[in-house]
Structure 1
């Protein structure tokens, strides 16, 4: 009796053909309880044995015509099963040889598709292996940018019970690659939530992929991706990337005025994500021109202490001197507070609260922001943003979230969302 050794399938794929006994046709036709081997026609058996021996020796020149012969004469289900399995092995060896000959050259793997599909369709392929096989066929299609085909086989793999941790992500990416960006990203968000809920944290690259694709398509879900990213990975670098993406670059999501940018700089300061002297100097200059000298001076001093602003930077020295002088001239805010409480509208209260916020007097700032909202006549979204910042800095997370939730209009709603993400992040 002739025996096939284990058929080495690529990517840990097993066809279940290990140790299968190929009996001569006359014996294979017997109808007995012991007769459990494959039923192969004589010509197919001969070609299969020749191919199997050649493949074991990686003798492609001998294996190729034997496999072709097997494919030509295959009649029974077993004939066709082994024809597909041996073709798969042959194509895999060709790929390995091509890579060994030129590791840097692209390799054509399309020859694997037909035998993989034949094995999937074969009743002789063990059911336990079909899910893995469908997944590998999906990968082959995905790598070839055949996204509808990739979705087909990835979905089939899932239906067959295959549970690779990347399967959901790959289906979503295939949808995006195929043009269904909203649908693919919706699936991706669901998969990320499932991974995080199960304790298997979604990789950073998944969030960056979601941000990039959503932003390129101008989808409103971009804000959710930005928030989720810094909540999951709240590093200083990530915070800066997210904040800059939202509103501090020439091609940012939102087009902000200087007053709105200040609140993003404040977020960068709170997350220790101000990167270099340019960040510190732009921030300080913005708040100085806004009439908040105490905050400008504090920012310059922090940049110098952190080594981000060189000691000899003349612009920093000039800003610090001007801010220090203006802060001294400003004096006590108590008289303004009294007038603000007695005013007919909330404008003075909001302005005085801003000054208290710049001095890091968060308690007085929060109280006056509430007065401003009560009296009216102010930009409620701006005041609620600043109230949220004051409460966040004072440690009142619940109050801060409520204030940020009250900000309804873009682009301030996006600023408020990022501050909410700061409160939700583990380092907040």
Structure 2
């Protein structure tokens, strides 16, 4: 297993600064008799004055003067009832806009989240705000609703923020969180995947936390296919050894592979240097089989011992080493005859594949490539296995673009294995 949960973190809502109403540009010095600048076209010479009702003006005029004098929490708290009364008197859109601004400002200073939220809802509902500012206000409203565990309201607010062009502060991921919070995981993962795809389409790298969050949710829900998709995206964007170990571990969990499939996946784990512990080495060694690939087994044993994750005195290690050493000379001696037999045009596919596998295990990439290419032209070939190993042989020669193209042709059970190899080949093609 692998420590998915320990790396997943929580939600993204902690990024929503509920005290950040200052960033909204609220009404500190906004005069009720002045112009409503946010709603006007810059080309207008004489902006239309706000249309305020008399009942609201009677309350709001003196209130605005007193708000301007507020310096601390106690002073703001003393004005809360008057702000509430002004909100109750607000009838016109401009009334609601200014009244909502008062509520945001006093709510912020008085540390009254409920009043701040009411202010945001009132400003948004006034209809006097459009575009980026409307998106920003909806974003903050969503954060406050989420903290209050009002996930339906948070969902609506975040969706409105996005619809009005707001893209900052991981708002797309926050929208997904509103579904995770109510155990609607498939919809949350769909939204998170959509957000990731949109970032990529825009030429930007999605945040690492988005992949980890999706991976964690999917893994806990035992949706291993989705977990693998997030894991593959994680290593594509953030190719650390730890992330590679997670992605490969997910593929193993989701795929329930047989020995030959596992072998090609563990070969990738070796390439990416992402072995975590003894069990990873043990799985590789069992899949490779010291009787069939003695040179490869000895190489992995030596790497494991050098890394400190395998102990030379361990019975499993010593037994595999003894078997591989006993087989090595004879195996090497058999290669010329196998190569000759497999090179005959009429050679059966099993012989050709065996030759490719043998030379691959000795890191003789060019010869292996040739035999896999030949095998693909023969009846009865396991095309996905041959293509996977053809891609590995091409990768070994530094033919990274060719390897990517080959891995893209793999389907069936081996497709996740090939997808991860293709990601790694792409990174190497870019000098990674």
TM range (shorter): 0.7 to 0.9
- Sort the Cα spacing of 1:290 and 1:380 in 2 relative to 1 into closer, same or farther, 3 A: farther
Counterpart in the other structure of 2:31: 20
Counterpart in the other structure of 1:26: none
- Sort the Cα spacing of 1:238 and 1:255 in 2 relative to 1 into closer, same or farther, 3 A: same
- Sort the Cα spacing of 1:57 and 1:233 in 2 relative to 1 into closer, same or farther, 3 A: closer
Paired residues of 1:15 and 1:129 also in contact (CA < 8 A): no
The unaligned stretches of length 5 or more in structure 1 are 1-7, 24-32, 97-108
- Sort the Cα spacing of 1:34 and 1:188 in 2 relative to 1 into closer, same or farther, 3 A: closer
User: What is the aligned counterpart of 1:414 among 392, 413, 416?
Assistant: 416
Counterpart in the other structure of 2:425: 423
Describe how 1:312-351 pairs up with structure 2 within 5 A.
Answer: 312-332=313-333, 333-342=335-344, 344-351=347-354
Report whether the alignment pairs 1:243 with 2:243. Answer: no
Shift in Å at residue 296 of structure 1? 0.3
Report whether the alignment pairs 1:366 with 2:369. Answer: yes
Rounded to whole Å, the distance in 1 between the matches of 2:27 and 2:131 is: 10
Rounded to whole Å, the distance in 2 between the matches of 1:138 and 1:222 is: 27
Rounded to whole Å, the distance in 1 between the matches of 2:147 and 2:367 is: 59
Paired residues of 2:372 and 2:387 also in contact (CA < 8 A): yes
Rounded to whole Å, the distance in 2 between the matches of 1:347 and 1:128 is: 64
Shift in Å at residue 270 of structure 1? 1.0
Shift in Å at residue 243 of structure 1? 0.2
SS at match of 2:269: helix
How many aligned positions are there?
A: 395
- Sort the Cα spacing of 1:160 and 1:257 in 2 relative to 1 into closer, same or farther, 3 A: closer
Paired residues of 2:100 and 2:122 also in contact (CA < 8 A): yes
- Sort the Cα spacing of 1:370 and 1:91 in 2 relative to 1 into closer, same or farther, 3 A: same
Counterpart in the other structure of 2:134: 130
Rounded to whole Å, the distance in 1 between the matches of 2:322 and 2:84 is: 86
- Sort the Cα spacing of 1:138 and 1:75 in 2 relative to 1 into closer, same or farther, 3 A: closer
Counterpart in the other structure of 1:44: 59
- Sort the Cα spacing of 1:86 and 1:341 in 2 relative to 1 into closer, same or farther, 3 A: same
User: What is the aligned counterpart of 1:116 among 112, 115, 120?
Assistant: 120
Counterpart in the other structure of 2:277: 276
- Sort the Cα spacing of 1:259 and 1:119 in 2 relative to 1 into closer, same or farther, 3 A: same
Shift in Å at residue 171 of structure 1? 3.5
Task: Write out per-residue CA displacement over residues 52-96 of structure 1, whole angstroms, 9 at most, x where no aligned residue.
Answer: 267434225522333344345556665544443333333334437
The unaligned stretches of length 5 or more in structure 2 are 1-18, 35-45
Rounded to whole Å, the distance in 2 between the matches of 1:201 and 1:34 is: 42
Paired residues of 1:14 and 1:129 also in contact (CA < 8 A): no
Rounded to whole Å, the distance in 1 between the matches of 2:338 and 2:249 is: 35
Normalised to the residue count of structure 2, the TM-score between the two structures is 0.78
- Sort the Cα spacing of 1:153 and 1:75 in 2 relative to 1 into closer, same or farther, 3 A: closer
Shift in Å at residue 368 of structure 1? 2.1
Rounded to whole Å, the distance in 1 between the matches of 2:394 and 2:20 is: 61
- Sort the Cα spacing of 1:163 and 1:17 in 2 relative to 1 into closer, same or farther, 3 A: farther
User: What is the aligned counterpart of 1:91 among 90, 95, 107?
Assistant: 107
Rounded to whole Å, the distance in 1 between the matches of 2:47 and 2:243 is: 65
Q: CA RMSD in A?
A: 3.5
Normalised to the residue count of structure 1, the TM-score between the two structures is 0.78
Paired residues of 1:22 and 1:45 also in contact (CA < 8 A): no
Counterpart in the other structure of 2:5: none
User: What is the aligned counterpart of 1:357 among 360, 364, 381?
Assistant: 360
Paired residues of 1:353 and 1:364 also in contact (CA < 8 A): yes
Counterpart in the other structure of 1:405: 408
- Sort the Cα spacing of 1:127 and 1:258 in 2 relative to 1 into closer, same or farther, 3 A: closer
- Sort the Cα spacing of 1:38 and 1:51 in 2 relative to 1 into closer, same or farther, 3 A: farther
Rounded to whole Å, the distance in 2 between the matches of 1:228 and 1:221 is: 11
Report whether the alignment pairs 1:10 with 2:21. Answer: yes
Shift in Å at residue 130 of structure 1? 2.9
Rounded to whole Å, the distance in 1 between the matches of 2:100 and 2:239 is: 50
Shift in Å at residue 245 of structure 1? 1.0
User: What is the aligned counterpart of 1:376 among 379, 397, 403?
Assistant: 379
